[in-house]
Amino acid sequence: MKTAILLLALIPAVLSTDQLSRHEEPFNADSALVKFGALCSGNPSNTKRGCDKYGCGKYGASRDGGKRKHMGLDIVCSDGATVYAPFDVTLNGRAIPYKKDNAINNGLNLKGEGLCFKLFYMKPDKVTGKVKKGGKIGTLLPMQKVYPGITSHIHVQMCDKSDPTKYF
């Protein structure tokens, strides 16, 4: 009991007044969000795809005349552009976007910064291992061969199909 009283008496002597009265703000999950680094050469600010004759690049955009929704976010990327790791990542195999094969039916499963996500329409340099932020992970495939006139892009899709927009 004497030890406890002595410790309570010493606390004000050890801590300054402003340390005792300082009010810490509650943790705000949004302020701690990860932000993707540049995904494609030629687009350092990760400009999002707008709308074109094939649809819009935002998450939730209508597809197939309203039969389904776009489950990712499209980031502008030129055909043949270098695709970069947006932060330190682990490569977890291929991600194939279509059931029917075509010239852009390739992609990559990735994990990093506590996130699990996929990148579609790229040819990976490798499909396993680790890559540091800004390291080359692949090349954008020729979207114009499959969708002439589309705004070429890399499709970012979270593994749980949640909206990735907040990370950009």
Give pLDDT tens digits for 43-62. 999 999 999 999 999 999 99
Q: What is the pLDDT of residue 112?
A: 97
CB 98 within 8 A of CB 105: yes
Residue 86 has pLDDT above 90, yes or no: yes
Mean pLDDT (the chain, rounded): 86
Q: What is the pLDDT of residue 20?
A: 36
Phi–psi pair at 10, nearest 5 degrees: -80, -25
Grade residue 83 by pLDDT with cuts at 50, 70 and 90. Answer: very high
Model-level pTM greater than 0.85?
no
Grade residue 132 by pLDDT with cuts at 50, 70 and 90. Answer: very high
Question: Taking the CB of residue 92, how many other CB atoms lie within 10 A of it?
Answer: 16
Enumerate the H helices of the chain as residue ranges: 2-14, 17-21, 143-146
Grade residue 74 by pLDDT with cuts at 50, 70 and 90. Answer: very high
Q: Which CATH superfamily is domain 36-167 in?
A: Glucose Permease (Domain IIA) (2.70.70.10)
> Over pLDDT 90: what percentage of the chain?
79
Q: What is the pLDDT of residue 32?
A: 63
Residue 1 has pLDDT above 90, yes or no: no
